[in-house]
Amino acid sequence: MISDRLKRNLKKEFRNSLLAKVGVFLMLLVVLSATFAPLLAPHNPTQTNPEQAQLPPLGFESERETSEFVDGEVQTVSRSVEGSMEHPMGTDAVGRDMASRILYGARTSLLVGLIGSAVAAITGVTVGLTAGYYGGRIDDGLMRFADVMLAFPSLVLAVALVGLLGPLTVPIPDPFVTAGLADGMPETFVFPVTVTLVVALVNWVWFARIARGEALSLRQEEYVKAARSMGASDGRIILRHVLPNSFTPILVLATIQVAAIILLESALSFLGFSGTNLSWGFDIAQGRNYLATSWWIASIPGLAIVAAVIGINLIGDWLRDALDPGIEGESGGM
Amino acid sequence: MTDHDEPHDDARRTDDTRRTDDTRRTDEPLVSVRGLEKYYYEQDTLIDRLLRNDPVSIKAVDGVDFDVYPGETLGVVGESGCGKSTTAETLMRLREPTGGSVTFDGEEVFEMDGDRLSEFRKRAQVMFQDPFSSLDPRMTAGQIVREPLEIHGVGTREERRERAADLLERVGLSADQTDRYPHEFSGGQRQRIGFARALALEPEFIVLDEPVSALDVSVQAQVLNLLSDMQAEFDLTYLFIAHDLSVVRHICDRVAVMYLGEVVEVGPVDEIFENPDHPYTEALLESVPRADTDERDREVTALRGDVPSPRNPPSGCSFRTRCPKVIPPDEVDLPQKSYTDVTTLRNRIEREGLDLEFVWEFAGDPDREDTAAFKETMREEMFDSFDADFAGEDAAVMDEAFDALAAGEVETAAEILRERYASVCEAVNPELPDSTHPAACHLRDQPADVREAVAAWEADDGAAAGGAVGDGAPAEDAGSSAD
Amino acid sequence: MSLAKFLVRRSLQGLFVIWGVVTAVFMLRFVTPGSPVDFVAPLDASPELRARIAAELGLDQPMYIQYLDYLWGLLQLDMGYSYISSTPAAARVFARLPATIELAVAATVVAIVFSIPLGVISATNRHEPADYAATGFSLVGISTPNFWLGIMLVLLVSVQLGWFPTGRRAIGFWPAVQLIWQEGTLAGIVVWLRYITLPAITLGTYFTALITRLTRSGMLDELGKEYVRAARAKGLPETLVRYKHALRNTLIPIITILGLQLGTLIGGAVITEAVFTWPGLGTLVIDAINSRDWPIIQGSLIVIGAGFVIVNTIVDGLYAYINPQVVYE
Amino acid sequence: MVDDDIPSTVATSEEDLLRVEDLETRFFTEEGQVNAVDGVSFAVRESDVFGIVGESGSGKSVTALSLLDLVESPGRITGGHIWYRNADLAEEHRERTPEAVDGDFVDVLQLSEGQRRALRGPSFSMIFQDAMSAFNPSLTVGEQIAEAVEVQRRAEANPRSVRSKTQGYGLGSYLSGLVLPQRDFVNRQSKLEAIELLEKVGIPDPAERADEYPSQFSGGMLQRAMIAMALAGEPDVLVADEPTTALDVTIQAQILNLLKDLQAETDMSIVLITHNLGVVARMCDRVGVMYAGEIVERGTLEDVFDDPVHPYTQGLLGSVPDLDRPGDRLHPIKGNVPDLIDSHMDDRCYFADRCPKAMERCLDPPGERQVGGEHAARCVLVDGEYDESEALADGYFEGSTAGDAAASEGSTADAAAEEATSDD
C-alpha cells in the first residue's frame, strides 16, 4: 500500500528532519528493550530482595534508615548508600531491580499499544468505511453510536470496563527462556488481555470517524465514479480504491493511537486495574509511596513512558509530514 | 424529437462534411432521455420532521429531454449549476433519478439489472473533468487502463496487459510510461489516460464530462484533436458536457443549452451559434470574449443579475428574471428596455427583497418623510429613461406603486405592479416543441398544451387582471402537465 | 436556516445522545459478570436472604421494567440509593461535582492562558529559538502521563520545596468566594488557590501543549491563505492581518476541538484526583467501581456523559454564534 | 545564468506609469531553485490596460505578486527594478535615497519594506482569481472593505513622510479596540464608505449585503465586492490576477464591463493577468505574452494578435477554437510547459523543444529584439526567416527533458508559490 513515491517522501523527510531521527532512535530503543528484555535484563525483574531494597541509581547517594544493634539496643541508624553497577537504576521498595523492570515494562506497553491500536484500527476502519461509503441510515446509526461512545472519556470508560469485567491475563511462554538463553528470567510473560481489548474498544471510534470522513470524500472522487460507471462492485471499489487512498491518514492515526494507548495503559496500571505487575504505570504507583525516601522508584518509569511516547509522536509527525504533504490533514483526530 | 442529419462516421468537422440537408433522420437514437429529473432534498432528517420543517427540494435536473444519435456528438452547454453534469451522471446511473426515463439502444436504463446492467456498463463509458481526481493516485497508468477489463473479465492477464499498452499508445503515450503513477504525468497526459480507460471496453457511447476545461489552451487543443480522431476511428457517439462555447462549436454536431435544470434550446450546432432562438443562448454567445482585435470595441450587453437559486426557482420560464426580452402583456406599450426595468424592479420586490432603508438613505432622507424625494430616487436609480417612456396609465401605476413602497407596503406595491405588468413568461413555463431546432421560449413556437395554457392565462388575466396567476404555483402546474 | 433553528436542532441532537448515554450506562450492568447481590449480601447469606435483597433492589424485575423505572427515576433526578452507604446516589454524585468542575475549569484556564500566546509566538517566529522552545515544550507536554507529572510536581514542589500542599481540597471555590463578602477576607481564596494550583497544572499541561500545537499549525495554515495575502494587498497593518484575520480563524476550529477534548479533560481529571486525593467525581467513581456500588457508578457515568454532551452543545452554539457561516451551510 | 546582451528597454514613453525592468523572482524549494519570473520587462502607461497572458506555470501570477511585493517565502524577488512614476514620492526620496530615484520615477524595489507596504492601497492594489478565498470567511464583506477604506483614510490623515510609521497599529491598539468600540480600527464613517463602494460596483441592496458573510455571496457578487475592496484606496495601478477565470461567461461579461467602466471613470491603469486570449482582446491596450518566466513577445494588442512573431504566440492563437469561424483541426503546440526548475532548464530558448521552427541558433538564449514600434519578441525569427537547413533534428530534446517536463506540471512556478505558502 506504500507506493514508491511515499517511500521517497519518507526517506527525504527522514534525511531532513532531526526530530524524525530522534523519534526512530527512541522507538528502536523501546522495541529492542521489549524484544530482548530477557537477554538484556541484569536480574529477574520479579525477584524480591529485602536486603537490597531502595538502592539508588548509579551515581546517586541516598540516606537510608536501618534498625541496627548498637550497644545492645535496637537503634535507628542513618546510613548512606551508593548506587552501583549491580543495579544501575537502583532497586524498588522490595529490592527488585529497576533496570530489569523498565526493560520488561517496555514489553507490556508496546504489546498493549500495538495490539490495542491494531484491533481498534481494524474494527474502526471496517465500520467507518462501510458507513461512509454507503451513507444514509447505516451512516446515521453509526455516527449517533459514535457520539454516545465519545461522550464517555476513554479513561473513565476503560476504568469502568476493566474494573467491572476484571483483569483477565494470559501467560505467554518466553521464547528466550524456553530456548535456554536466559536462565533465571521469568518463564512466562503476562499479557493483559482485558486491558488490551478495552483500550481497543474505547479507541476504535476515532478510526471509524476518520475512515468515515475519508470514505465520504473519496466517494465523490471522480475515479470512484469512474469505477462505478465501469460496473465495479462496491466491494471492489472499497478494497481497491477507497481503502488504499484512505490508508495514509489511518496510518498516521494508528501511530498516534499507539502513543495514546500506552498512556492509557499506564494510567490503568497506575490505578491498579491492569492485572500485570510488570508495567511502568504499576511501578509509578508503587514508587509514589516512597517519594520522600526513594525518588527514583516513581521517576524512572515515568521517564521511560515519556521517552517512548515522544518517540512515537515524533514518528507520527514524520509520517504525517512525509505522507500527507498537500492534503489538508485532520490534525490527529484526538 | 428527431433530428434532420444523416448519420456520419467522420467526426472531423470540416466544412464539406457539415450536414445541412433537411431530410428527416431515419435512424433510431442511441440514447434517448425523457423527462429526466433529479431532485435533492434539504432539511429532510428525522429532527426536521420533529421540528416540522418542510423539506426543501433542489431541482438540479428538472425534466430534461434529448436524444443522441449514433455517431454524432451532442454538446450540452450551460453555466455552473445548470445541471449538465448531474444530467450526465444520472443518465449513466451514477445517481438515482427522481423521475423520467433514459433508453439506451431501446432499453430502459433505470430498469436494468444483472447482466443487462453489466452490458450497459460495457457499452457506455464516462470520461471525467478533473485530471487530478479522475485517476486513482495509487494505481499506475497500466493498472488504470486494465481495470475495466478486469471488472468485466475480458481476456487473460497477458492480453489485458497488451491491450492496455496498445490503448496508451493510441492516445499518444509511450509504452514505457505504463508503470508510472498519475502524478508523474501532466494534466493533458492524465486526460489521455482517462480517455484510454474509457476506450478499453470498446464502448459505443462515451459521456465526456468537461474533458478539457481544466487544461491549458495549447494542451486542450491536443486533447480535442485526439477526441475527434478516436471518434472517427472507433465510430463513437459522444455526449459532450462543456461550459466553453468555442470548444462546443468546434467539436459538436448538435447542441443542447441548459439553464437551471432545464434544456432551453436544442439544435444543429451551426443554427444554434448563428441563429440562436432562445434569448439565453443569444446572451451566452454574446458574452464570450473573442480572441480578436475587434473585440475591444464590440458592445456587449451582459445579462443582469445572477442565476437564481435552484432552491427557489422562478415561476414560469426559469430565465425570465434575467431575460432582456420578457414579453409585456398586450395592454402595456413600453419600450423593451423600460419594461425590462419594470421586471427587474418586480424581481427585486418579490424575490430578492428590496432594501427600502437604503433607498431612503440614498434619497438623503433617512427619516422617511420626503416621499417625493423617495420617488425621485426610485425613478432615477431603477430606470434608464423613466420620464421619457412612462406616461399615462404606466406613470400612474408606477406612481401608485412608489407610494406604496414609500409607505413601506411592499406587498401592496408588488400587487399593483403585478396587476399591470405580469408577463406570460412568469405564468406559463415554456416547453420544447417537437422540431429540429426547438427553443423553450414564448417568443417561439410552443407545443399545443403550452399554447392552451397561455390562452387560458390570457383569458384569466383579462378577467381577473392577472392577480392570482402571478404567484406561479398554478401556472407551473399548467406547464408541467404538458409532459 | 436561522441561528435559533440551528440551536433547537443541535439541542435535540444532544438530548438524543444523552438518552443513548443513559441506555449504554444502564446496559453496562447487564454485561458485567456477577450480580450486585454478591457485593451487597453477606458472604454467608441464605438464598432467601439473597432473593429478598434482590427484590429490594428491584433486580427481580424484567430488564425493560428496570430500565423504564430507572429512566423515570432519572427524570426526577433519582438515581437510586448507594448499596454501600444507603444514601441517595444523586446527592453523593452532585456533592462531588463542584470539585471536578473547579479542577477542569482551572486546568482549562491554565491551558488557554499559556497556550495561545505560545502558539502565536511559535508560528510568527518560525524556525527561531522561541519556536523551537515552544515546539519542544508541546511535544514533551503531550507525551507526559499526567499522573506521573502530578507525582513529580508533588516530589519537587511540595516535598522538596514545601510550597504547596501535597493533596486534598481544603475549601471549595464557592465557599471561598462567599467568605470574601461574609467575612471580608481573602484567606479562603488564597487557601483555595494553594490547593488547586498543582492539580490544575497537572491536568492543564497536556492541554496547554495540545493547544499550542494546534494554534501553531493552524496559524501557519491561515497565514498562508489567500485572504491574508489579500489583506496585505490592501495595505492592512500587519497586527490586524495576524490577529484580527489569521488568529481569529485559527481559534474558531480550535473551539470545536476543545469541545471534543473535554472527554480527555474529564478522564485526566479522574486520574489527577486520584493523585491528589481530590474529592471529585473521579475518586468517587473509582471507589464505586471497586465496591460495585452500581447506583453510584451509573449516576457518575451519566453525569459525566451528559456533561460532555451539554458542554459540546453549548460549544457548538457559541461556534455558530461567533462564526455564522456554519449556520448557512 | 548568462542573459542576453541587449538591454531590454523598449520604447519608453512619456505616459509610462510603471516600468518593470529585468524583474527576477525565484523560489528556493526543496526540488531546487525555481525561476518563476526570469528577467521580465514591460511598461504600463497611464490609464492603460496592460495584459499579461500565458498558460499555467508561465510565471504570470508570480509577476503580479511581485508588483505588490507579496511574494512569500521561500520565494524572493532577486533582481530588477520596478520604476513607478509618482512625483511626490520621488521628491520625498530624492535626498535620502538618490539611487532609487530617476526623474519622477522611483524604484519601488529599493525602498524599505515599510515604505513599500505603504504603497499598497493608494498606489497599487490587487484583485485575485478566487474571491471566495480572498475574503476572510469569518468577517463580513462590509467590514473587510471598510478596512481597506480605513487604511486609506489613515494614510491621508498623516503626512506622507510618516506614512509608513502610521502602519504601527500595534497589538495594544488592536486589543483595546476589542474592548472599546470607539478604539476599533474601522469606524462608522469607513463602514458607510464601504457601502457606497459596494453600490458603485453594482451590488443591489448594498447596505444589507455589507453585513453578510462571503459565503452568502454568489461568485459574481463577491468578485464585485473584491473589486470594491481594491478600489477603496483609489489606486494608480490595479493588478487583476485572473479576475474572471472562476466565473461563468455571463458573469464574466458583467465583470469585464464593470472593470471597463470603472477604469474609464477613475483613469487608473490595470495590469490584467489572464490565460484567456478573449479577455485580453476585450480589455487590453498592450499585451505581453509570458512563457517559462519570460515575456516572449509584447506590443500593442494589434501587434501581438494580428502580427505575432514568436512561434509560441502563434501557437497559442492557433490553439483556441474560434467561436464565429468554426473549422478545421486545431493546431496545438506539442509537448508540455516546462517546470522552471533552474537545474532542469538548459541555457537556450525555453520554447525550442516545443517550437516547430527550432533552429540551431535557438540553443543560445535569445535576447529581446525589436520588431518595430513597441513590438518586441524574444525570438531569432525577428532577425530572419526560418531556415530549414538549420533546423534541429526531430527528437533533439527527447530523453533530456521530455520525461521531466511531463512529471513536473505540479511543481511549476505558481504551484511552487502555492506549496511554499501552504507548507508547514
Are the Cβ atoms of C33 and A267 closer than 8 angstroms?
A: no
Q: Are the beta carbons of B148 and B227 closer than 8 angstroms?
A: no
Domain assignment of residue D214, given as a range: 137-234
Identify the residue whose cell numbers are 478539457: B212
Tell me, yes or no, whether D366 and D391 share the same domain.
Answer: yes
Distance (Å) from the alpha carbon of A326 to chain D's nearest alpha carbon: 8
Q: Is residue D91 part of a domain?
A: no
Tally of structural domains, chain B: 2
pLDDT in tens, chain C (329 residues): 577 777 888 888 888 889 998 998 888 888 887 777 777 777 777 888 888 888 877 778 888 888 888 888 888 888 888 887 888 888 889 988 998 999 999 999 999 999 999 999 999 888 889 899 999 999 999 999 999 999 998 888 887 788 888 787 878 888 888 888 888 788 888 888 888 889 999 999 999 999 999 999 999 989 989 999 999 888 888 888 888 899 988 988 888 888 878 888 888 888 999 889 889 898 899 888 888 888 888 899 999 989 888 888 888 888 777 776 666 54
Nearest CA in chain D to C220: D424
Identify the residue whose cell numbers are 469585464: D256
Chain A neighbors of B147, CB-CB under 8 A: 227, 230, 232, 240
B89: Cα separation from own chain's centroid = 14
Tell me, yes or no, whether B231 and B350 share the same domain.
Answer: no
Give the Cα separation of C71 and C168 in Å (integer): 35
**Residues whose CB is less than 8 angstroms from the CB of residue D368 and which lie 6 or more positions away in sequence, other chains included:** D4, D6, D8, D10, D41, D295, D376, D377, D378
Give the Cα separation of B127 and B227 in Å (integer): 11
Tell me, yes or no, whether D219 and D258 share the same domain.
Answer: no
Q: Kindly report, residue by residue over B197-211, the tens digit of the pLDDT.
A: 999 999 999 999 999
Q: Is residue D196 part of a domain?
A: yes
Within 13 Å of residue B231, how many CA atoms lie on the same side as its CB?
Answer: 28
Nearest CA in chain D to B216: D55
Tell me, yes or no, whether B142 and B41 share the same domain.
Answer: yes
Q: Is residue B315 part of a domain?
A: no
Q: Kindly report, residue by residue over A40-80, the tens digit of the pLDDT.
A: 888 888 888 888 877 888 878 887 777 777 777 777 777 78
Give the Cα separation of B222 and D55 in Å (integer): 15
Tell me, yes or no, whether D410 and D284 share the same domain.
Answer: yes
pTM: 0.83
Distance (Å) from the alpha carbon of A309 to chain C's nearest alpha carbon: 5
Q: Is residue B310 part of a domain?
A: no
Domain assignment of residue B51, given as a range: 7-275
Distance (Å) from the alpha carbon of C172 to chain A's nearest alpha carbon: 24
pLDDT attached to residue D159: 52
Distance between the two ends of chain A, CA-based, in angstroms? Answer: 25
Q: Kindly report, residue by residue over D363-413, the tens digit of the pLDDT.
A: 888 888 888 888 999 998 888 888 778 777 777 776 544 433 333 333 344
pLDDT band at residue B97 using 50, 70 and 90 as cut-offs: very high
Distance between the two ends of chain C, CA-based, in angstroms? Answer: 9
Residue B402: closest CA among B437, B431, B435, B363: B363
- Report whether pLDDT(D256) > 50: yes
Final residue of a structural domain among D183, D210, D234 = D234
Please tell me which residue, B52 or B156, carries the higher pLDDT value. B156
Residue A262: helix, strand or coil by DSSP? helix
pLDDT attached to residue A324: 62
- For residues B130, B135, B141, B145, the Cα torsion angle rounded to the nearest 10 degrees is -100
Q: Is residue B443 part of a domain?
A: no
Residue D136: closest CA among A98, C252, A235, A114: C252
Residue D144: closest CA among B19, B48, C232: C232
Most confident of A130-144, B57-71, D8-22: B57-71
- The dihedral built from the CA positions of residue D137, D139, D145 and D147, taken in this order, carries a sign that is negative
Distance (Å) from the alpha carbon of A315 to chain D's nearest alpha carbon: 16
Are the Cβ atoms of C13 and B50 closer than 8 angstroms?
A: no
Best of C9, C13, C16, C313 to mutate (most B CBs within 10 Å, chain B): C9
Entry field: residues in chain A: 334
pLDDT band at residue D181 using 50, 70 and 90 as cut-offs: low
Q: Is residue B425 part of a domain?
A: yes
Give the Cα separation of C33 and A238 in Å (integer): 39
Q: What is the CATH number of the domain that holds B36?
A: 3.40.50.300
- Report whether pLDDT(B452) > 50: yes
pLDDT attached to residue B377: 83
Most confident of A65-79, B242-256, B403-417, C62-76: B242-256
Tell me, yes or no, whether D417 and D333 share the same domain.
Answer: yes
pLDDT attached to residue C219: 92
Give the Cα separation of D25 and D308 in Å (integer): 27
Which homologous superfamily is C97-322 in? MetI-like (1.10.3720.10)
- Which residue type is seen at B289? P
Mean pLDDT to the nearest integer, B124-149: 90
pLDDT in tens, chain A (334 residues): 556 667 777 888 788 788 888 999 999 999 999 888 888 888 888 888 888 877 888 878 887 777 777 777 777 777 788 778 788 888 888 888 888 899 999 999 999 999 999 999 999 999 999 999 988 788 888 888 888 888 888 888 888 888 888 888 888 888 888 888 888 888 888 899 989 999 998 899 989 989 998 998 898 889 999 999 999 999 999 999 999 888 888 988 999 999 999 999 999 899 888 888 889 999 898 888 888 888 888 899 999 999 999 999 999 888 888 876 433 333 332 2
Tell me, yes or no, whether D159 and D295 share the same domain.
Answer: no
Please tell me which residue, B24 or B178, carries the higher pLDDT value. B178
Give the Cα separation of D142 and D214 in Å (integer): 10
ipTM above 0.90, yes or no: no
pLDDT band at residue D158 using 50, 70 and 90 as cut-offs: low
Please tell me which residue, C13 or D1, carries the higher pLDDT value. C13
One-letter-per-residue 3-state SS of chain B: CCCCCCCCCCCCCCHHHCCCCCCCCCCCCCEEEEEEEEEEEECCCHHHHHCCCCCEEEEEEEEEEEEECCCCEEEEECCCCCCHHHHHHHHCCCCCCCEEEEEECCEEHHHCCHHHHHHHHHHEEEECCCCCCCCCCCCCHHHHHHHHHHHCCCCCHHHHHHHHHHHHHHCCCCHHHCCCCHHHCCHHHHHHHHHHHHHCCCCCEEEEECCCCCCCHHHHHHHHHHHHHHHHHHCCEEEEEECCHHHHHHHCCEEEEEECCEEEEEEEHHHHHHCCCCHHHHHHHHHCCCCCHHHHHCCCCCCCCCCCCCCCCCCCCCCCCCCCCCCCCCCCCCCHHHHHHHHHHHHHHHHHCCCHHHHHHHCCCCCCCCHHHHHHHHHHHHCCCHHHHCCHHHHHHHHHHHHHHHCCCHHHHHHHHHHHHCCHHHHCCCCCCCCCCCECCCCCCCCHHHHHHHHHHHHHHHHHCCCHHHHCHHHHHHHHCCC
Tell me, yes or no, whether B398 and B253 share the same domain.
Answer: no
Q: Kindly report, residue by residue over D304-337, the tens digit of the pLDDT.
A: 999 999 999 999 988 888 888 776 778 888 887 7
Tell me, yes or no, whether D282 and D385 share the same domain.
Answer: yes
Which grid cell is A224? 470512484
pLDDT band at residue D221 using 50, 70 and 90 as cut-offs: very high
Within 13 Å of residue D282, how many CA atoms lie on the same side as its CB?
Answer: 26
Residue C46: helix, strand or coil by DSSP? coil
Q: Which residues pair with D288 in a beta bridge?
A: D52, D298
Q: Which residues pair with D40 in a beta bridge?
A: D23
Q: How many CB pairs under 8 A join A and B?
A: 60
- The dihedral built from the CA positions of residue B140, B144, B150 and B151, taken in this order, carries a sign that is positive
- Which residue type is seen at A96? R
List of chains touching B (3+ CB pairs within 8 A): A, C, D
- Which residue type is seen at B360? W
Residue A36: closest CA among A104, A137, A125: A104
Distance (Å) from the alpha carbon of B346 to chain C's nearest alpha carbon: 25
Chain C neighbors of D68, CB-CB under 8 A: 233
Mean pLDDT to the nearest integer, D56-66: 90
Q: Are the beta carbons of B60 and B83 closer than 8 angstroms?
A: yes
Give the Cα separation of D378 and D311 in Å (integer): 10
The CA-based angle A290-A291-A297, given to 5 degrees, is 70
Give the Cα separation of A20 and A319 in Å (integer): 9
- Report whether pLDDT(B60) > 80: yes
pLDDT band at residue B259 using 50, 70 and 90 as cut-offs: very high
Q: Are the beta carbons of A273 and A223 closer than 8 angstroms?
A: no
Q: How many C-beta neighbours within 10 Å does residue B389 have? A: 18
pLDDT attached to residue C327: 61
Q: What are phi and psi of A249, to 5 degrees?
A: -60, -30
Mean pLDDT to the nearest integer, B275-299: 90
Residue D125: closest CA among D271, D24, D20, D16: D271
pLDDT attached to residue B208: 94
Mean pLDDT to the nearest integer, B130-155: 90
Compute and round to an integer the Cα radius of gyration of chain A: 24
pLDDT attached to residue D418: 43
Tally of structural domains, chain D: 2
- Report whether pLDDT(B314) > 70: yes
Give the Cα separation of A57 and A301 in Å (integer): 13
Domain A4-54+91-328: give its CATH architecture: Orthogonal Bundle (1.10)
Q: Where does chain C hold its CATH 1.10.3720.10 domain(s)?
A: 97-322
Give the Cα separation of C304 and C292 in Å (integer): 18
List of chains touching C (3+ CB pairs within 8 A): A, B, D
pLDDT attached to residue D323: 82
- Report whether pLDDT(B276) > 90: yes
Give the Cα separation of A210 and A334 in Å (integer): 10
Q: What are phi and psi of B251, to 5 degrees?
A: -110, -15
Q: How many C-beta neighbours within 10 Å does residue B385 have? A: 12
Give the Cα separation of B343 and B43 in Å (integer): 32
Tell me if chain C has a CB within 8 Å of the CB of A17: no
The CA-based angle C296-C300-C306, given to 5 degrees, is 145
Mean pLDDT to the nearest integer, D239-265: 91
Q: Are the beta carbons of D286 and D51 closer than 8 angstroms?
A: yes
pLDDT attached to residue A83: 77
Within 13 Å of residue C145, how many CA atoms lie on the same side as its CB?
Answer: 37
Q: What is the CATH number of the domain that holds D268?
A: 3.40.50.300
Are the Cβ atoms of D422 and A326 closer than 8 angstroms?
A: yes
Entry field: residues in chain B: 483
Are the Cβ atoms of B151 and A226 closer than 8 angstroms?
A: no
Residue B211: closest CA among B334, B307, B85, B42: B85
Nearest CA in chain D to B227: D329
- Which residue type is seen at A21? K
Q: Is residue D84 part of a domain?
A: no
Are the Cβ atoms of C145 and A166 closer than 8 angstroms?
A: no
Q: Which residues pair with A66 in a beta bridge?
A: A77
pLDDT attached to residue A322: 80
pLDDT attached to residue B90: 93
DSSP A70: E
- Using CA atoms, how far residue B350 sits from B344, C199, D85, in Å, is 10, 62, 51
- What does the buried/exposed string (b/e) look like for B423-461 if buried means 16 or more CB atoms within 10 Å of the residue's CB? bbbbbbbbbbbebbbbbbbbebebbeebbebbebbbebb
Q: What percentage of chain A reaches a pLDDT higher than 70?
A: 94
Q: Are the beta carbons of C266 and C307 closer than 8 angstroms?
A: yes
Give the Cα separation of D424 and D421 in Å (integer): 8
Which of C236, C239, C249 lies at the smallest CB-CB distance from D138? C249
